[in-house]
Structure formats: C-alpha cells, structure tokens
Amino acid sequence: MAQKGPAMTAFSLEPAQLAWCAELRALAAERLRPLAEKGEPGRVNRALVAELGGLGLLGRLFTSGALDLCLMRESLAHACTEAETALALQGLGAHPVHAHGTQAQRARWLPRVADGTAIAAFALSEPGAGSDAAALDLTATPDGPAGWRLSGEKCWISNAPEADFCTVFARTTPGAGARGVTAFLVPGDRPGLTGAGLDMLSPHPIGTLDFDAVPVTADDVLGEVDRGFRVAMGTLNLFRPSVGAFAVGMAQAALDATLAHTAGRDAFGGKLRDLQAVSHQVAEMALRTEAARLMVYAAATAYDQGAPDVPRRAAMAKLLATETAQYVVDTAVQLHGARALQRGHLLEHLYREVRAPRIYEGASEVQRGIIAKELYAAHQEAR
C-alpha cells in the first residue's frame, strides 16, 4: 500500500517521525473515530478528550515543539477531524498557562489538561472584536487593592460554555489598544460567569461567555498586567502553522478519496482518471497540498529554531494551507458528484469542516495584512 500524508513529502522528516505519523493515523481511525462518532454535535466530547489524554497526546502539547504539533494535527485530521480539533483546543486554551502561568496555576491545571480531565478554552474574540483583536470591550474594572471585576461578552469561543477554565483577555487600561489588555485564568465555576452554545456549520463545541462582574485577582493574571496581548499573539504564532497542518490533513484525506474514486469509477468508456480534465485537476490538488505541507513544516521549524520572521512565516503557512484545503475539498466534491453531498459521506463532512479555518485564529485577510506589514518592516530595516 502506498504511504500517505507526511510520508509522501521530500521534507527531511526523520524515520521515527514518519513512523509516529503512521501510528497516529492508525490510532485516529481505530480508537478515536469510534468515540468521535458517539459524540453530540456542538458539545464537548469528554470521552474523546480523555482518550487523547490516555494515549499521551495531550501531554505532548507541553513537551513538543511546533513541528511535532503540526505532525500530530495533520495525522489526526487525516482520519478523525474531531480528535484533531479536541487536541488543538486543549492546546490553545492551556498554552498561555504553560508559557506564562505561575507555578500554582501550572500545578493546578496542566496535569488535568494533559490527562484529559479538564477542558480548556481560549477566550479572545468578542461580538465587536473578531479580526481586530486589540479592540476588546470586555472590561476589567479595579476591585480592591489587587483585584478586578470582568464585565462583558466573549463570542465564538471553542469549548464554551463547558470549559473547566478559560484563558480570558480583558481590557485593564481604557484607550490603550493592544497595550491595555491583560490575560486572566478564569475557572469555569466563577460566580457571574455564564454562557450558551452556538449552532455552527461544523460540529465543534463553540459558544458565548457572559461576564457579570466576575471576580479575578492578581493570582489569576497570566503574565503581566497590560501585557496580555503578547500572551495572545505568542499563542497564535505557535498555533497558526498547526492550523495549516489541520488543513493539510483534510486536504490529503480529500485527495486520497479522490484518487480512489477516479481510479475505480467507470465513465465514458473508461475510468474517470483517463479523462485529462480529471487527471489534471487531481494533479493540481496534489501540487497545492504538497506546497502547503512544506510551507507549514518550514514555518513550524522556524518557530522551533527561534527565527525572527516567525509571524510572517506563520501567517503565510496558515493562509496558504487553509485556502488550499478549501480548494482541494471543493474540487474533490466536484469530482465525486452528488454522492459527496450525502450526509455522512467523508467529503460532506470535510466540506463543513474546511470552511472555518479560513476565519478563526486570524482570517485570511488578517494573515495577508500581517505578511505585508512584516515585509515592509523588513524592507525598511534593510534600507
């Protein structure tokens, strides 16, 4: 059987990495997908998260580099997008605690995230502050010598409102833009914190969070007061390439399904693959998928090496990979015909899954803005 996914690339992955990717794809198909199928759309699948913890994959979120994170997300996405997303959301919500938390915060929450018994959320977006993340309205009003009260709303928050704790970004200094935002670790049972689920196109758990004078103290701060935007951007710089890896995994799954379908389907006196119009589309799907994969790996490697151009590389990787996956999945649906639109078909599932990554963690337009900003800054420095 021909190898699929990362094993096809000429990127210099080690044999152990290739073997690990193959193992992850098998685990996703054999152990994670059955649990995913039992989950309720729009709700946190705690059994699936617990299995990810039991397999040791959640713990690797805090011990592995960006490239390993990409390999995990791509491999899981190839066989079980729900498992990939559950893993990624744990990492996104808990990474600020891992990177900026106090010893007490880390000791309380990270072991539970790693074993899958605590659900994490990353609460940045608001109804009026999506792409413009610095325009936050959630207000942290001083309350006593070392405390605040959080008031406002967060929206489109993954794992909300079921998360056991949230990394919450709130405005502590009015009128200061990105320089007046603080990151807080807020347990889900804090008084005044409520929320509701949202019915979205993809089946992920996503909802709103309402803060009615929720109390927080200095012990809940992640990093430094008024420096929370750096916490947010540092997390996104790590996870943006891996969003691209998620997209590459979906693109590869769609490509593999298309190869099997066009090789076996009889049409016009031969196989679909014998039609040049079809074979050229398949070649284009493969070309774009491989190009996106290589850019994702390169961005992740740059992050692991501490390269200065990580924001540009991360933005490029997410942009190219998510746009590529949209193209590949859409083309796969077209080549499969009506069968791909039937509820329960792999491509029907991927078609619903592939749209959101072009928006979350910075929409494609935001990524283009980041790329241009970084390019002009580098040009200015070189003059």
Which CATH number fits the domain that encloses residue 207?
A: 2.40.110.10
In a domain, 171, yes or no: yes
19 lies in the same domain as 52: yes
Q: Are residues 286 and 368 in the same domain?
A: yes
Helix (H, G, I), strand (E, B) or coil at 73: helix
- Do 275 and 246 fall within a single domain? yes
Cα dihedral 288, 292, 294, 298, rounded to 10, equals: 160
Q: CA-to-CA distance for 159 and 128, rounded, in angstroms? A: 20
Co-location of 304 and 327 in the same domain: yes
pLDDT (tens digit per residue) in 306-332: 999 999 999 999 999 999 999 999 999
The pair of three-digit structure tokens given for residue 286, joined into one six-digit string = 């493969």
Whether residues 29 and 141 share a domain: the answer is no
Give the amino acid at 270.
G
CATH code where residue 84 lies: 1.10.540.10
Q: How far apart are CA 247 and CA 320, in angstroms?
A: 10
Tell which of 194, 226, 258 closes a domain.
226
The domain that holds 288 is classified in CATH as 1.20.140.10
Same domain membership, residue 331 and residue 317: yes
Beta strand segments in 47-124, E: 120-123
- Rounded mean pLDDT, 257-274: 93
Claim to verify: residue 151 and residue 287 sit in the same structural domain: no
Q: End of a domain among 196, 226, 256?
A: 226
Q: Examine the domain organization and report whether 352 and 284 are in the same domain.
A: yes
Question: What's the number of domains the chain is made of?
Answer: 3
1 within domain boundaries: no
Q: What tens digit of pLDDT does each residue of 332-365 get?
A: 999 999 999 999 999 999 999 999 999 988 899 9
Residues 218 and 249 placed together within one structural domain of the fold: no
Task: Encode 183-212: b = buried (16+ Cβ within 10 Å), e = exposed.
Answer: bbbbbbebeebebeebebebbbbbbbbbbe
Q: What pLDDT, in 10s, does the model give residues 96-124?
A: 999 999 999 999 999 999 999 999 999 99
Residue finishing a domain among 204, 226, 248 = 226
> 307: which DSSP letter?
-
Q: Which residues pair with 214 in a beta bridge?
A: 150
List the domain range (segments joined by +) for residue 349: 230-382
Residue given tokens 């991927």 in the structure block? 350
Question: Are 104 and 143 contained in the same domain?
Answer: no
Identified catalytic residue from 361, 365, 374, 381: 361
Asked whether the CA dihedral 292, 296, 299, 301 is positive or negative, the reply is negative
Indicate if 23 belongs to the active site.
no
